[in-house]
Amino acid sequence: MKSPAARLMVDLRYLRALSRRFRSTLLLAAVIFGLGPLLYHWRYVGPGGDRISYGEALHHVYFLLFGQPSLPYVSDWLVETLNILIPPVSIALVVDGVVRFAYLFFARHKNDKEWVSVVSETMKGHVVVCGAGRVGYRVVTQLREMGKDVVVVEKREDATFVSALRDENVPLLIDDTRSPLCLPRTHVKKASAIVCATDDDLANLNIALDARRLNPGIRVVIRLFDDDLGAKVRDTFKAEALSSSSLAAPAMALAALDPRLIHSFRIGKHLMVVSLFVVRDGLSGMNVSQVRDRFGGLALSLIRGETETLHPTGDVVLQAGDQVTIQASYPEYCALRAFTGESDAPAYADHDNFLMPGYRPTG
């Protein structure tokens, strides 16, 4: 949740962007309601020879908007020209300008294309996420938790998480990404990154190409189902191409082997894992540096009693009962489990050939 001060700044930026978009309308309104009364005050002379105040002139201009002049007819060409021109011009101003301006400012929950376009203009360094499916929604949630502004593009009104995104007041553009005006409406020229997370590889590639054309420096992340295509995109397009299957495969394989693993990911050809260790006789008495130097395990957090310490320093001595979260390569993790007497998985050398071709454990 944003603080009241942050929300106020967002509203002010939105009002400024809206004012830029309606500058011609606001200028015309200033001319009608600023210059018009001055002209009446200067030229209008009543049937009895009386002049009118600026307030009376402003009153007359206001009622001319509705075709109801409040001053008697006089034979003056400038006054009559104003009486004829102001009503139609003012009606057009009210209908096309003031009403639309007020609608966009006060009815922002509607999330129509024009509103999304205006609110996107208030952002700089934001992230554009294309696709409001499960992957897109989780990406948006993660980015917002990190305090990043996000604009979402989705082709279908009935997509899975459209309603959820609107309930969370996320700017959501319902538009076809193939439309030439789609990405410009998201202010992609000033975006820091775009995430192409639709379920169509070709559509994701088209979005990425269009984004790079509009913003050559934008960071592109593409969801691709074809692993071979993803490798080619990474090499030639210099974009981050991710496959859901390749990301999930290590986690699923390791979950089948060892349920104690919390997370897994690859760094090049190395399979890295994260696991929680309860300190017993093997680790008790060793400090964090010794665990790192001997087994290659990095201590991410340490829970002792009710206290949790992120990134404990190397001189912290582990005590029986401590819970330490350790990151290591899979072979190093297996060696550490074997050292603590908890290893019930096959020896790491076998997994080395299966999971990490060409890799040999250190130490």
CA torsion sign for 177, 180, 183, 189 is positive
Beta-sheet pairing, 150-154 with 127-130: parallel
Contact 282, 340 (CB under 8 A): yes
pTM of the predicted structure, to 2 decimals = 0.60
CA 323 – CA 277 distance, rounded (Å): 6
CA 132 – CA 253 distance, rounded (Å): 28
Instruction: Name all domains of the chain by residue range, CATH numbers in brackets.
Output: 4-110 (1.10.287), 114-242 (3.40.50.720), 246-353 (3.30.70.1450)
Residues 322-336: tens digit of each pLDDT: 999 999 998 999 889
Residue recorded with tokens 């999304």: 116
DSSP reduced 3-state for 242: strand
Residue recorded with tokens 């093997």: 282
Q: What is the mean pLDDT of residues 213-240?
A: 77
Contact 131, 203 (CB under 8 A): no
**Within 10 A of 18 (CB to CB), how many other CB atoms are there?**
21
C-alpha radius of gyration, the chain, whole number: 32
More confident call, 9 vs 269: 269
CA 8 – CA 150 distance, rounded (Å): 18
Residues 277-286: tens digit of each pLDDT: 999 878 888 9
- Between the alpha carbon of residue 314 and those of residues 218, 308, 336, the distances in Å are 39, 16, 17
Q: What does the pLDDT read at residue 72? A: 85
Q: What is the mean pLDDT of residues 299-323?
A: 92
Residues 156-182: tens digit of each pLDDT: 888 889 989 988 888 899 988 888 889
DSSP reduced 3-state for 271: strand
Burial of 291 (0-12, 13-18, 19+ CB in 10 A): buried
CA 76 – CA 96 distance, rounded (Å): 31
Q: What does the pLDDT read at residue 14? A: 67
CA 89 – CA 204 distance, rounded (Å): 46
Residues 20-76: tens digit of each pLDDT: 767 777 777 778 888 888 888 888 888 878 888 888 888 888 888 777 888 888 888
DSSP reduced 3-state for 141: helix
Q: Is the pLDDT of residue 2 over 60?
A: no
Q: Is the pLDDT of residue 256 over 60?
A: yes
First to last CA, the chain: 47
**What is the Cα 81 distance to its own chain's centre?**
52
Contact 297, 329 (CB under 8 A): no
Residues 183-208: tens digit of each pLDDT: 998 999 999 999 988 888 888 888 98
